[in-house]
């Protein structure tokens, strides 16, 4: 059941009180221009509610302070959730203009609450007396996290430092929004239009179909568009025999965020790094990396660097071996050029075909998007006993969005799942999970049964022409399973308090449920059931599965150099002191770090600094991109539990996984949660073994 709010008279009531099917907003009744009035009402209302908590004359209790904060600001929460998801998945000029206006306003609003001294005094009183409050472990965890959050937001600073921190946060919010919008604009506006058979040399039918659909969407009927969506650009770089076109497309892809004038993200990065360093110093930390890692599993930048540098040495050595293989094939093909970044995918695919008699074009006819969605749902059902019922008549923010009711084994709705799979110019690139509504089990005046989660998956797969199946690559299928793992983390959440619901866990634990779920994609019984040929309906042959398994660790040097270089640059930027970050040249600094690593010339960072949205479109993954690797150590060990049980769907292991990983949210310390599931912490070597780099 979802909470209801009464709307102020001058705002669209649908933003406050969702009246659509399944407890969703009725998107047809919401106009983009409605949000400004909603925020104009919601921001002061939220401040008034929190000030009332601060001014409460009664002695602070967990109920009148912590729970009161947990349930405050319902209108702002609802408006923010709808707006944020529209801004990412289906934006336009109206939403982007408001996004630029709101970013600093929301930052000021957050600072006003988190720096409210009387409010923090109440929380601090409870925290200092926590041993005498007789709280259960979950409530104790919520109190501890609330106290930490206020302290790290400047609640203990004097008035002058609070004002400085608030100004820094406000500017950082503006910089992050501008950075994100610049990348989206570059991705939206670029298309390499191809026309002739010569232009299409080497491209498989599935890619030609996708490029044709992309061109028609952009008004180029009968032509073919190479866009910067990974579902098009990566297979184009893999299969195109036109080296000149590969170079053109690749250079556009890696130059996102480097546009001229207002679209140039490089000065934004420099200012962001400087301000983050200043923020950390104000709060008493040696660097922004120390600030961000303080409450993670990794704890310190030194621990992160140890992991990354161990991987870097192994990955770089392997990539050198891989480059030699590519050079040999280039020479064998009658060419005399070195391996360039726009050559790597193309020739590595040829090496894979030569070595394993395997290529992506052979696999892709068996990977229909619809079947892979079924595979993810089937896996969740076998592991956790949940089912998905599609509601075709329910409208969301775009006609492509699919709406599912999620039911437990008894047929009770436990979540709503919305999936938006296809690329379009109004959507930022990449793939992600988000929420319109978080799960909780609080009983309040508005809610007698808590709140059902409403979870989103957003992808950017290339559409096929009308009437043709959408075929995806193996990497695309892994992305689908990855993001669905995040979605399950939100949908299976079973906690009391909103602030620790679902994915509200430390950054280097949040990727465990997603990366772990990827393992089930390649479980033989999953592929044998759902990987069926789109024309013949035949199951993927065992011989092809054997070849895929044999090639599973192929090109891992390249993949880990791409990733690890990005993570090391992220850490280097955020390990700077304010003095070191003063007047920094972001691209020169990136080049200096890569030179120190002896970065291979033929490989580039997976995310170059000007379009490193994980790190610079907000601070979610800043000093935290390493977390994919940290969680990789966990997921490699976690799936081993099922192997030890002798069954990838062992019910006892799955029940522990659900209880301690997918359902516990932030109610437990992540190390304790993992040990409760697995009985021990993993060895770092587990990741090297998984990647074949031992």
Give the DSSP per-residue string, 428-452: -SS-EEEEEE--B----SS-SS-B-
Cα-Cα-Cα-Cα dihedral of 254, 256, 260, 263, to 10°? -160
> DSSP E strands: which ranges in 350-476?
387-390, 402-407, 413-422, 432-437, 454-461
Q: Tokens standing for 571?
A: 């850490």
Strand ordering across the sheet containing 413-422: 387-390, 402-407, 413-422, 454-461, 432-437
* C-beta neighbour count of 644 within 10 angstroms: 10
Domain boundaries in the chain? 13-156, 190-255, 288-361+554-691, 365-505+512-518
* pLDDT tens-digit readout, 159-212: 999 999 999 999 999 999 999 999 999 999 999 999 999 999 999 999 999 999
CB of 673 closer than 8 Å to CB of 538: no
Alpha-carbon gap, residue 377 to 384, rounded angstroms:
10
CB of 66 closer than 8 Å to CB of 135: no
> Which CATH code is given to the segment(s) 13-156?
1.20.1050.40
Mapped to the 3 state alphabet, what secondary structure does 607-655 carry? CCHHHCHHHHCCCCCCCCCCHHHHHHHHHHHHHHHHHHHCCCCCHHHHH
Alpha-carbon gap, residue 229 to 183, rounded angstroms:
12
Q: Tokens standing for 394?
A: 């329910």
Stated pTM of the model: 0.95
Residue with tokens 């969680």: 631
Q: Known catalytic residue: 405? A: no
Nearest of 346, 339, 345 to residue 320 by alpha carbon: 339
Catalytic residue among 70, 99, 349, 483, which? 483
Nearest of 287, 256, 271 to residue 172 by alpha carbon: 271
Q: Residue 226 belongs to what H/E stretch?
A: strand 224-226
Nearest of 254, 111, 259 to residue 182 by alpha carbon: 259
CATH architecture, domain defined by 288-361+554-691 = Orthogonal Bundle (1.10)
The SS3 call for residue 96 is helix
Intervals of the chain under pLDDT 50: 1-6
Q: Tokens standing for 298?
A: 């990794």
The reply to whether CATH 1.10.1370.40 applies to domain 365-505+512-518 is: yes
Cα-Cα-Cα-Cα dihedral of 584, 586, 590, 593, to 10°? 10
Alpha-carbon gap, residue 616 to 596, rounded angstroms:
23
Q: Tokens standing for 146?
A: 């609330």
Alpha-carbon gap, residue 126 to 387, rounded angstroms:
42
* pLDDT tens-digit readout, 427-481: 999 999 999 999 999 986 555 579 999 999 999 999 998 899 999 999 999 999 9
Which residues partner with 417 through β-bridges? 404, 455
The SS3 call for residue 260 is coil
Q: What is the DSSP letter of 65?
A: I
CB of 437 closer than 8 Å to CB of 489: no
Query: For the packed helices 34-54 and 93-114, what is the interaxial angle rounded to 10 degrees?
Result: 10
Whole-angstrom CA distances from 598 to 310, 317, 333, 592 are 15, 11, 28, 10
The SS3 call for residue 55 is coil
Spatial neighbors of 21 by CB under 8 A, at least 6 apart, are 391, 393, 394, 403
Alpha-carbon gap, residue 49 to 37, rounded angstroms:
19
pLDDT of residue 4: 42
Are 288-361+554-691 and 365-505+512-518 equal in CATH topology? yes
Alpha-carbon gap, residue 175 to 162, rounded angstroms:
20
Which residues partner with 387 through β-bridges? 407
Q: Tokens standing for 462?
A: 């290339």
């Amino acid at each position: 059941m979802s909470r209801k709010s009464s709307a102020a008279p001058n705002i669209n009531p649908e933003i406050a009180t969702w009246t659509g099917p399944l407890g969703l907003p009725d998107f047809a009744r919401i106009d983009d221009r409605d949000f400004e009035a909603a925020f104009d009402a919601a921001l002061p209302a939220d401040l008034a509610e929190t000030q009332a908590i601060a001014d409460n004359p009664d002695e602070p209790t967990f109920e009148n302070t912590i729970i009161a904060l947990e349930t405050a600001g319902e209108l702002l929460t609802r408006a923010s959730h709808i707006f944020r998801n529209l801004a990412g998945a289906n934006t336009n000029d109206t939403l982007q203009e408001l996004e630029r206006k709101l970013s600093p306003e929301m930052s000021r609003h957050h600072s006003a609450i988190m720096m409210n001294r009387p409010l923090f005094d109440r929380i601090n009183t409870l925290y200092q007396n926590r041993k005498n409050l007789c709280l259960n472990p979950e409530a104790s965890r919520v109190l501890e996290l609330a106290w930490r959050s206020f302290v790290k937001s400047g609640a203990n600073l004097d008035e002058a430092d609070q004002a400085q921190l608030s100004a820094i946060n406000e500017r950082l919010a503006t910089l992050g929004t501008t950075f994100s919008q610049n990348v989206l604009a570059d991705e939206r506006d670029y298309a390499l239009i191809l026309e002739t058979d010569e232009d299409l040399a080497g491209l498989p039918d599935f890619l030609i179909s996708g490029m044709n659909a992309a061109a028609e969407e952009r008004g180029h009927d009968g032509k073919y568009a190479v866009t910067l969506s990974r579902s098009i650009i990566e297979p184009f770089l893999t299969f195109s025999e036109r080296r000149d076109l590969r170079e053109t497309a690749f250079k556009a892809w890696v130059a996102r965020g480097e546009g001229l004038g207002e679209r140039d993200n490089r000065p934004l990065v420099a200012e962001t790094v400087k301000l983050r360093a200043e923020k950390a110093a104000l709060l008493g930390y040696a660097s922004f990396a120390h600030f961000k890692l303080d409450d993670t599993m990794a704890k310190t930048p030194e621990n992160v660097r140890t992991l990354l540098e161990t991987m870097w040495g192994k990955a770089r050595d392997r990539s050198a071996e891989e480059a030699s293989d590519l050079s040999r094939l280039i020479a064998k093909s009658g060419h005399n050029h070195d391996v360039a970044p726009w050559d790597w995918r193309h020739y590595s695919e040829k090496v894979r075909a030569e070595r394993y008699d395997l290529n992506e074009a052979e696999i892709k006819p068996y990977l229909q998007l619809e079947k892979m969605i079924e595979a993810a749902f089937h896996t969740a059902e076998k592991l956790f006993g949940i089912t998905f019922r599609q509601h075709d008549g329910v409208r969301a923010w775009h006609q492509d969005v699919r709406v599912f009711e999620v039911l437990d084994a008894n047929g009770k709705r436990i979540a709503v799942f919305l999936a938006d799979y296809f690329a379009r110019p109004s959507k930022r690139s990449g793939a992600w999970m988000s929420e319109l509504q978080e799960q909780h089990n609080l009983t309040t005046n508005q809610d007698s049964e808590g709140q059902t989660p409403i979870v989103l998956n957003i992808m950017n797969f290339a559409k096929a022409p009308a009437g043709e199946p959408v075929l995806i690559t193996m990497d695309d299928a892994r992305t689908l399973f990855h993001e669905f793992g995040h979605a399950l983390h939100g949908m299976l959440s079973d906690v009391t308090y909103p602030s620790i619901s679902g994915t509200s866990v430390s950054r280097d634990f949040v990727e465990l449920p997603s990366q772990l779920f990827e393992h089930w994609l390649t479980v033989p019984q999953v592929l044998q059931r759902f990987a069926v040929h789109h024309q013949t309906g035949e199951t993927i042959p065992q011989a092809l599965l054997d070849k895929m398994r044999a090639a599973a660790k192929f090109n891992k040097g390249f993949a880990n150099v791409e990733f690890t270089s990005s993570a090391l640059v992220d850490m280097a930027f955020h390990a700077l002191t304010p003095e070191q970050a003063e007047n920094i040249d972001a691209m020169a600094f990136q080049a200096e770090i890569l030179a120190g690593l002896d970065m291979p010339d033929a490989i580039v960072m997976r995310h170059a600094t000007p379009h490193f949205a994980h790190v610079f479109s907000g601070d979610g993954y800043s000093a935290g991109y390493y977390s994919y690797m940290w969680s990789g150590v966990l997921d490699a060990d976690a799936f081993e539990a099922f192997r030890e049980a002798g069954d990838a769907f062992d019910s006892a292991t799955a029940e522990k996984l659900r209880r301690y990983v997918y359902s516990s949210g932030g109610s437990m310390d992540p190390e304790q949660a993992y040990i409760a599931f697995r009985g021990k912490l993993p060895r770092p070597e587990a990741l090297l073994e998984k990647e074949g780099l031992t």
